[in-house]
Amino acid sequence: MSSHPFNLKTSKQRLTRQLNELAALLKEVEEYSHPWNFPNSLKKLQLFWATKPIMVKALCRKMENKKGGIWQFYNECICALTNSREKDEALANELETNFENYWDDKKGDSLSELASDMGIQLETRVVELECQEASIKQEMANEATQENMGNATGNGDSGTSLNRRLFENKLKIPEFTGNAAEFDSFWELFEELIHKQPYSNIEKLSVLLNCCKGDAARALKMFPRTGDSYERAVQQLKNQYQDSKRVTMTMIRQLKSLKQARDDARSLRNTLNDVEAINATLRRQEETVDITHTISMIMDVFPKRVQDEIAKNEFDSAKEWNINRRVTFQHNHGRKKTRTFGKP
């Protein structure tokens, strides 16, 4: 697009269509915003396992592709506006102001961030499915072994004991070792797979203790192994690790420890993934990350050529770019570089 004159009307029309399509996908995703309600029938459960992961993964891909397409076209518009300055700077400034106002009215940044959050929810739903499927299959294998040994206990209560059997085989909850930056993702899975389920508090405590290792295990070491301790153990972990200042400091240390990327597609992509993850974690803590010091640290992990390109495009836009805008520019720059030089 950058080789053609910028047309504000057609650009708005195209972006509006893409944003509406993304909004429609987000409505579809709302269906998966809560933990699964698994059927009790084995036949229905098997069909559930066979179809739901395919549907969720396909929806996740569609949403990610749509979001990527929107940002790519948005950046093409910015580049075209920048190029048009050579012919008529006053007109280019007017068009850019109009375009940015349109983007703000459409809440383009917010919609993109919401899509990223919903994508994480979809990934959580897939993990839940995989955990439940693995647990049930293991239980079925155990029952088959018992039957072969003549110790089958009958199947009259198989429907009503589904949740109990799931628990006895222990869901595959990730371990938590005491890294504050990982607590939110750990708790999101634990909360939906164990905390909100109809298990007794002593059972929930048992799973929680098995998940906690290292410093996290030491934090719970002195709690009595009784049902009354479960809520207090959860609160202890939240007090100790759900600390926004602590998470922020951890993320800043990780950012400082990043080595500068080499000027090749693989290195740029890996570094960008690290920066995006750190940026997302900082924003979840509601930290103000668009400050000179943080922006400077993020810029320093990219090669000088990339820094110069970002600075040039920011200058040409006549507006100060926040971290999201800088990361988005580098995201699209990295995709173009990958297509140019082949797979990383």
Is there a domain that residue 139 lies in?
Answer: no
* pLDDT, tens only, 13-57: 999 999 999 999 999 888 887 778 878 777 887 788 888 888 888
- Give me the pLDDT at residue 263, please: 75
Is there a domain that residue 141 lies in?
Answer: no
Q: Answer yes or no: do 295 and 321 share one domain.
A: yes
- Give me the pLDDT at residue 220, please: 92
Q: Answer yes or no: do 278 and 336 share one domain.
A: yes
| Number of domains making up the chain | 3
Higher pLDDT, 234 or 196: 234
Q: Is the pTM of this model over 0.75?
A: no
* pLDDT, tens only, 28-40: 888 887 778 878 7
Is there a domain that residue 257 lies in?
Answer: yes
Q: Answer yes or no: do 23 and 74 share one domain.
A: yes
Is there a domain that residue 201 lies in?
Answer: yes
Please say which residue of 109, 130, 151 terminates a domain: 130
- Give me the pLDDT at residue 147, please: 62
Residue 164, both tokens: 């109990």
Dihedral sign from CA coordinates of 218, 219, 224, 230: negative
Higher pLDDT, 251 or 219: 219
Q: How many residues does the chain have?
A: 344
Higher pLDDT, 212 or 309: 212
Q: Answer yes or no: do 96 and 118 share one domain.
A: yes
- The 10 Å CB-count burial string (b at 16+, else e) for 25-39 is bbeebeebeeeeebe
Amino acid in position 81: L
- Give me the pLDDT at residue 322, please: 56
Q: Are 64 and 119 in contact (CB under 8 A)?
A: yes
Give the range of the structural domain holding residue 195, as residue numbers without chain letter: 173-242
Q: Answer yes or no: do 59 and 106 share one domain.
A: yes
| Average pLDDT rounded to a whole number, residues 59-72 | 89
Q: Answer yes or no: do 178 and 278 share one domain.
A: no
Please say which residue of 212, 242, 272 terminates a domain: 242
Q: Answer yes or no: do 291 and 218 share one domain.
A: no
Q: Answer yes or no: do 189 and 276 share one domain.
A: no
Is there a domain that residue 142 lies in?
Answer: no
With 80 as the cut, is the pLDDT of residue 208 above it? yes
Reported confidence tier of residue 340, pLDDT bands at 50, 70, 90: very low
**What region does 129 belong to: left with phi over 0, alpha with psi -120 to 50, or beta?**
alpha
SS (H, E, C) the chain: CCCCCCCHHHHHHHHHHHHHHHHHHHHHHHHHCCCCCCCCCHHHHHHHHHHHHHHHHHHHHHHHHHHHHHHHHHHHHHHHHHHHCCCCHHHHHHHHHHHHHHHHHCCHHHHHHHHHHHHHHHHHHHHHHHHHHHHHHHHHHHHHHHHHCCCCCCCCCCCCCHHHHHHHCCCCCCCECCCHHHHHHHHHHHHHHHHCCCCCHHHHHHHHHHHECHHHHHHCCCCCCCCCHHHHHHHHHHHHHCCHHHHHHHHHHHHHHCCCCCCCHHHHHHHHHHHHHHHHHHHHCCCCCCCHHHHHHHHHCCCHHHHHHHHHHHHHHCCCCCHHHHHHHHHHHHHHHHHHHCCC
Is there a domain that residue 91 lies in?
Answer: yes
Q: Answer yes or no: do 200 and 97 share one domain.
A: no
Q: Answer yes or no: do 233 and 290 share one domain.
A: no
**What region does 170 belong to: left with phi over 0, alpha with psi -120 to 50, or beta?**
left
C-alpha closest to that of 303 among 271, 343, 336: 271
Q: Are 128 and 52 in contact (CB under 8 A)?
A: no
With 80 as the cut, is the pLDDT of residue 161 above it? no
Please say which residue of 242, 262, 296 terminates a domain: 242
- For the chain, first and last CA: distance in Å? 26
Q: Answer yes or no: do 283 and 236 share one domain.
A: no
- Give me the pLDDT at residue 280, please: 77
Is there a domain that residue 45 lies in?
Answer: yes
